[in-house]
Structure 1
């Protein structure tokens, strides 16, 4: 009888673990799907509708590409690692995945700071906006948004220049990202704290300009300032925990629990999921474009136009 009870208890525990894993897979899969679909809609909307093709939305388009790639190339493998507790894809792909993770998330953050910079000139210095945000300047800034993250990710990580010099046994089926103190501080400064400073300064200047010149600034620009503030607030809430732990952990001998890393990392991923919804919710043109794509009205319009021309 005792053996039967132990067997039954073991079966119940296994069932509970299986349900927990399935639930976590479902939850993280929904987040991953929302990231991909939402950002892909942003890419489609800006590419298709000419009224959405502006300097600001060039940054938004590039941001959506970065966030969409986070959903396609990073989040699925991170999801398996989080749920299963181990890594099935080998040490080489572990480094490649870590490089893509750092690069794409940093690129996403850089784009947000560029959008803040763009809005600063649009609101605070509108007379020089067309000069400062010319097509060539926008292209240069977008190139920086991709090049710098690539330099601080693929180079150090693939060459193992980021590795911490500590005597910690790491099993072969585990993909962990233990970095040296120098890399942790430098990468966090470049990837998060400097862009955060740019966004904070830009938003503060926009806020002061909007408050001082409320009657001169149009309702659309005031709405842009409000939207920027919300986007920046979401950005800080979801990325600050990860980058705080990222800097602190090497100085406390890498004692941060794995579950804490997973929670904070997925909070950062959620920022990539929320960006397209923030734009869709606050921007009427994006909202209309999203609805048209979701209701297939775009394809109906194209089909009618094609048949009428023929």
Structure 2
């Protein structure tokens, strides 16, 4: 379980990151490609990326693992891609022995440790060149062509949670970041492994949605001294509408998920949603799970039928979105 202890000062210090960051999103995308959850949403995207990811990018799989516990030096919190690469280059020689040992141990669990990983700690130019080439090659295929869509997902999520904060408070906004998230007093909890506990102690929390991350919210240090919470954006990357969204709801939820919410002004079963929207039952289940986690719909079972209905918050979103 993840447990984050807030003080009153921390609750007042919750804010959003201003924009997505290229190497953070790249790292999470490489992680997402190795995960197996949310197959209805990410399945085809993973298959396509498996075909398109260039050979030069494969060394990243030695460092970036499916649990998202990535070494900080490969995902600096820097806005510009070239400057972010410079930050990686400067950080590599400073990686301490404990961090290096952790990276090597993780890699050893998958296969024999690649020699270039050991070379990073020694400042070996060839090893750095291999890492830099991998980051550039992956960025060119995974991030650069889709940067506008990544930004669209990011901005839509921030707009939605800012609305949640304004209308229902900070606790509601944070509780909607994951289906297993809840509050126990002033402790934010997410009931998923591994166990991790932190006391913010007045440092505050910066929120960063990612359209690639699908797991439990991740915690990291922020250069400004606060803590960074990375969580799954409301609209994951494969569901971001192509081109300009038709409206604010499409931008936030994606067209199909917005249509699901719109239909749930009246109670419907999973089968009825699949029939009315011409999508599969697993796809409906994935969409309703996310809408339910965000507090936009409720679900109850009536015999063999599963019934879904928009909540007051969902109706409020439909009204504000036109």
TM-score by length of 2: 0.24
Point out the structure with the larger helix share: 1
Structure ID, larger Rg: 1
Point out the structure with the larger strand share: 2
